[in-house]
Amino acid sequence: MVEPGNVDENKRATLRRFAALGAAAPLTKLADRDSERSDVPDAIAGYVATTPGAHFSKVRDDLQLGTGETQHHLRRLVETGVVESHRDGDYRRFFPADQFSAFEQVALSYLRRDTPRGMIVELLRDPSATGGDLADALDVSRATVSKHAADLEEMGLLSREGGYAVERPETLITLLVRYADSFDANAETFATEAAGLISFDP
């Protein structure tokens, strides 16, 4: 059983870690902070910088914050131009302000979803992969692959003419490599494989 004091200490350590990232970020300009000193705004800014495209619940849960607390600070960060957001179906996703193009924001939103991300990774590994190959690799049904493929095509991330083909693969590889540790083990493995294929300024 985890003691309450340990939970609080874990939360403080998490906030301090992301706050250091947020305070160092060039876009952090929280001149109008709340009167009380808090690591929370910097922690949220740091978290969003390292996990762009995260939705509200993920920000709240990973930083061990309350719903109202998260809403308050995210709203302030958006108002001060540190963070921007866009609606993605039932989710609102958050990004460092002025850091990503519209295409990159859409791409990151879909890379935050397990099955679409898995499909993109598998197609980047093997551009000749079929719907059946993707279903087998991801342990999902063909119908699931078809549904997500239609969504990815609608959003400009995939072409289904003559098979499946990832659109703008270099951009998707760059995002997967840059933020690999914020996805999953499969993405991290892919990043190790793909890192030598591209170059970018972090």
pLDDT at 36 over 50: no
Determine the straight-line distance between the first and last CA of the chain, rounded to whole angstroms.
Answer: 41
Which segments of the chain are extended strands (E)? 54-55, 83-88, 91-96, 158-159, 165-166
Q: What percent of the chain has pLDDT over 90?
A: 72
Which pLDDT tens digit goes with each residue over 132-186? Answer: 999 999 999 999 999 999 999 999 999 999 899 999 999 999 999 999 999 999 9
| pTM of the shown model | 0.81
In this structure, are residues 112 and 53 in contact, taking their beta carbons and an 8 Å threshold?
Answer: yes
Domain topology for 104-197:
Arc Repressor Mutant, subunit A (1.10.10)
Q: Which CATH class is domain 4-99?
A: mainly alpha
- Which residues make up the CATH 1.10.10.10 domain(s) of the chain? 4-99, 104-197
Please check whether residue 45 is in contact with residue 84, taking contact to mean a CB–CB distance below 8 angstroms.
no
- Label residues 34-43 b or e (16+ Cβ within 10 Å = b): eeeeebbbbb
What does 157-174 look like in DSSP terms, one character per residue? Answer: SEE-TTS-EESSHHHHHH
